[in-house]
Amino acid sequence: MSEFDAIIHRLGAAAATLDGAIDRYASGDVRFGPPAYAHVLTKVAAGVIVTGGVVAVPLVAARTGDDGRGAPSSPSAASTATVPLASAPDLVGGPTLPGDGQTFTDQQAWDAIDWLDSLAPYGPEGNRYEHLIVQDQLEKCMNERGFEYHQIPFTAPPQPRRAGYVRVPPLPTEEQVKAVGYAAFANLGGASAPPPSSDAEDVPATTDPELIEANTANDELAQSSDWSLALYGGDTKVGSCIGDAFGFIEEQVGTEAKARYSAFIGTILQLAAPLDHPEGALAAALEEWRSCMGPLGGEVQSPVRAVDLYDALLDTEPSDEEIATALADLRCRQSSGFRDAYRDAMAAGIANFRYENEGRIDDLEAATRRETEALRELAGELGLLEPDA
Amino acid sequence: MREPRSADDHRCIDADADVGAWIARFLPTLRRALVARNGLADGSDAAAEAAAWAWEHRGELAGMTNPAGYLYRVGQSSLRRRRFRDRQRSSLIPDVVARDSPPFDDALFAALKRLTEAQRVSVVMVHMYGFSYRDVADVLDVSEAAVTNHVHRGLARLRRIVPPADEGTHR
């Protein structure tokens, strides 16, 4: 079984875990603090789902004024060229290990995150070579199995390395908060903002006519289950074309960078999220913020995460309650020093990581460079690169 | 209104059909999609709100060409009220659940969190639950081509960042 097929297998095996968690949450077995809306589910289940609509539903918190059609008004996605490995910012600044209390600039914090992301195997150039090779292999494999396949052209994904990370965008002004509520926090992200979360904004590739054409053609072909099975697998004896394609790359290029990166993955996932284990100045600022917010904080355990704020952009008119809460949040973030403490904790964590793992990181970066170059050579040998590439 | 492809087709509801039964059939799909995008707590609650909305507005629902996609958006919009969320609430599977769910592939779920939302929903729905591209496209209210693209990119990224099973699974 190829590595790709193994991931497909693991995804399938994880369905029971996720369904089990959903069932437990719906049953009230899992709670993270009131109020939660799961009670609505229970009542719906009792009144509608089970009886098929015979019993009237005791609606709780139904939003009759919200038709769910809020027009996304996300800020324009900013350019996010990944920091090249060779120019990764040096936050360590010498042999002294950064400790609690060290301060960083915003730019240093963003650069630290970008550097962290740049550790992922291959990098932007390698991703392009990999895509070209995979598509070439897919077409050959599918043709050998008697199927047609249309290669999907490469398009750089939008801010792929920003997604999922906690960000500390600049704080808005009070006037901005009064005008748009929590949307002000997100709109001010500017160049350091996370990507918009609306589906419409998340499919920039649909503007590429070649991509649309290839995808549409493959969609038609995918109506045949045999075609889908050949491409994505399902029969572990025969394997999938996409699994074979990635397996081919692994054979030709190697997997050292991935193996080295895997050894860091647990740490990397935690580094950019210091709120998971707040310590020192961050813990103190967090406590100060909670105290400052008082009852307005509700069930909140920390200031709203920047990524989450994009949900606020789905609707247009903030309520008075939202504006009042957002104003309080703004003032509490300022008075508690939370934002700076968060930034410093995040940057210090990454700096420590670099300092403590310097040798291993050097090895990883060297392996990445070797494999990216090997990918480029392989793509060239297969005739997939422009003559001057 | 399009003709249903099968008894399980959730893309349209016949005006004479039992809306409650339709909601019952579609709710698990909606809940899975919203959980995949927003995490266990918020996703479950959003699905509950969407289901409640669906029942209250069942008359409107019956006339829609894509009620599944509409309810997905209702669920997403409902989260706007949930402005205050800590990290635990937004986890795809919170630690408190993971600890009690052996064997738990935490490396896989951690990697899923690193995908874009659309990639995560598409990968989870297609490859975790086995939904068709058409069904996922309806739920997300996007084209099948978009779902194909999300799945392809999502799987390629997972392949790069997911460590081998024996390195990231609680047993």
Q: What is the ipTM of this complex?
A: 0.71
Who wins on pLDDT, B7 or B102?
B102
> Rounded distance, CA B109 to CA A198, Å?
22
pLDDT, position A124: 72
Q: For chain A, report the end-to-end CA distance as a whole number of angstroms.
A: 34
CB B34 within 8 A of CB B136: no
Tokens 């290990």 label which residue?
Answer: A97
| Per-residue pLDDT, A189 | 38
CA distance A104 to chain B (A): 24
Mean pLDDT of each 10-residue bin along chain A, 389 residues long = 78 82 66 32 29 22 26 25 29 40 75 75 81 91 93 66 47 81 58 33 51 77 77 66 84 84 70 72 88 72 52 56 82 88 84 87 91 94 81
Residue among A11, A41, A222 whose CB faces B48 most closely: A41
Cβ–Cβ gap B48/A44 under 8 Å = yes
Contacting A residues, span 105-124, partner chain B, CB-CB under 8 Å: 120-122
Of A22, A48, A304, the CB nearest to B44: A22
Nearest CA in chain B to A18: B93
Is the pTM above the cut of 0.95? no
Contacts of A348 (CB under 8 A, 6+ apart): A98, A99, A100, A102, A104
Mean pLDDT, residues B1-27 taken together: 52
pLDDT band, very low/low/confident/very high, at B136 (cuts 50, 70, 90): confident
CA distance A266 to B111: 10
- Chain A 301-340, CB below 8 Å of chain B: which residues? 301-302, 304-305, 308-309, 311-312, 314-315, 322, 325
Peptide bond into B28 cis (omega under 30): no
Which residue(s) pair with B170 in the sheet?
A: B104
Closest chain A C-alpha to B118 CA, distance in angstroms: 6
Predicted pLDDT at B97: 57
Cα–Cα dist A203/A72, whole Å: 13
- A194 interfacial to chain B (CB closer than 8 Å): no
Nearest to A284 by CA among A98, A101, A97: A101
For residue A297, the model assigns a pLDDT of 64
Buried (b) or exposed (e) across A248-271, using 16+ Cβ within 10 A? bbbeebebbbbebbbebbeebbeb
Distance CA B17, CA B25 (A): 13
| Pair B143, B128: CB distance under 8 Å | no
Query: Which of A55, A64, A219, A220 to mutate against chain B (most B CBs within 10 Å)?
Result: A219
pLDDT one-digit tens code per residue, A10-21:
888 888 888 877
Is the Cβ pair B86, A269 closer than 8 Å?
no
Q: What is the 8-class DSSP label of residue A86?
A: G
Q: Which of residues 226-265 of A touch B (CB under 8 A)?
A: 232, 242, 246, 258, 261-263, 265
* Nearest-neighbour CA in chain B from A208: distance (Å): 12
Residues of B in contact with A53 (CB under 8 A): 18-21, 23, 55, 58
Instruction: Please tell me the predicted confidence (pLDDT) of residue B166.
Output: 63
Q: Establish if B142 touches chain A: CB-CB under 8 angstroms.
A: yes
- When comparing pLDDT for A369 and B36, which is higher? A369
pLDDT for A34: 29
Token readout for A358 is 């310097």
Cβ separation B117–A197 shorter than 8 A = yes
In chain B, what percentage of residues exceed pLDDT 70?
65
Write down the mean pLDDT value for chain B.
70
pLDDT in tens, B71-101: 888 787 666 544 333 333 445 665 555 555 5
DSSP H stretches of helix in B14-164: 19-38, 40-56, 58-62, 67-78, 87-90, 95-98, 106-113, 117-123, 133-140, 144-161
Least confident of B9-23, B46-60, B125-139: B9-23
Q: What is the pLDDT of residue B91?
A: 55
Residue B149: CB atoms within 10 A of its CB come to 28
Partners of B104 in the β-ladder: B170
The DSSP secondary-structure symbol of A234 reads: S
CB contact under 8 A, B35 and A120: no
Query: Would the CB atoms of A4 and B18 count as touching at under 8 Å?
Result: no
Residue A386 touches chain B, beta carbons under 8 Å: no
Alpha helices in chain A (DSSP H): 3-26, 38-44, 106-118, 123-144, 174-180, 183-187, 209-221, 225-232, 241-253, 256-271, 280-293, 306-309, 320-336, 338-356, 358-381
What is the rounded average pLDDT of the residues B5-20? 48
| Cross-chain Cβ contact B49/A40 below 8 Å | yes
pLDDT of residue A317: 65
Tell me the chain A residues in contact with residue B148 when contact means C-beta distances shorter than 8 Å: 215, 218-219, 222
B153 touches A at CB < 8 Å: yes
Partner residue facing B145 (CB), from A21, A30, A219: A219
Contacts of B163 (CB under 8 A, 6+ apart): A262, A263, A265, B107
pLDDT at A145: 92
DSSP codes of every residue in B61-90: HHT-S-HHHHHHHHHHHHGGG-----HHHH
CA distances from A194 to A35, A108, A110, A162, B113 (A): 28, 17, 11, 6, 14
pLDDT value of position A206: 47
pLDDT band with cut points at 50, 70 and 90 for residue B159: confident
Contact call for B148 and A215, based on CB within 8 A: yes
Q: Is B45–A266 a contact, with Cβ atoms under 8 angstroms apart? A: no
What are the tens digits of pLDDT across the range A220-247?
Answer: 787 777 887 788 765 555 677 887 888 8
What is residue A307's predicted lDDT score, i.e. its pLDDT? 37
Do A48 and B161 count as a contact with CB atoms less than 8 A apart? no
The DSSP letter of residue A336 is: H
Residue B135 has pLDDT above 80, yes or no: yes
Q: Give residues 105 to 134 of B whose Cβ lies within 8 Å of A.
A: 105, 107-111, 113-118, 123-124, 127-130, 133
